[in-house]
Amino acid sequence: FGAGDEDVANWFRHWVNEGFQPIEKILTSSAETGTFCHGETPGLADICLVAQVTSNARFGVDLTRYPTIARIHAACMALPAFQKAAPQNQIDAE
């Protein structure tokens, strides 16, 4: 690939934004969206969303462009199960 760290981060952020834009649009326009992706109970979509947001934070992805994603992520992270599962809380976290 031959790219430096900053080029890799820029490339990563570009593709995250390409993916997050339609997800934000779907979540914002869907009548099913509530506190979580599909209502008032967290589900698989929320688990996947939290995993993506957590991973993307390593590359400085700005969530202010995605208020619904950020809100759902915050709602998930307020729950003990999501807190316990966070990468930084794992026994092998560095």
- Say if residue 7's pLDDT is above 80: yes
What are the structural domains, with CATH classification, of the chain?
A: 5-88 (1.20.1050.10)
- In the chain, the amino acid numbered 17 is N
% pLDDT > 90, the chain: 64
Residue 36's DSSP bridge partners are 39
Give the pLDDT mean for 17-39.
96
Within 13 Å and on the Cβ side, how many CA atoms surround 61?
25
Q: Which two tokens stand for residue 22?
A: 């339609």
Which single residue is written with the structure tokens 């952020």? Answer: 13
Q: Provide the whole-model pTM.
A: 0.87
Choose among 26, 19, 83, 14: nearest CA to 54.
83
- Residues 57, 85, 34: CA angle, nearest 5 degrees: 75
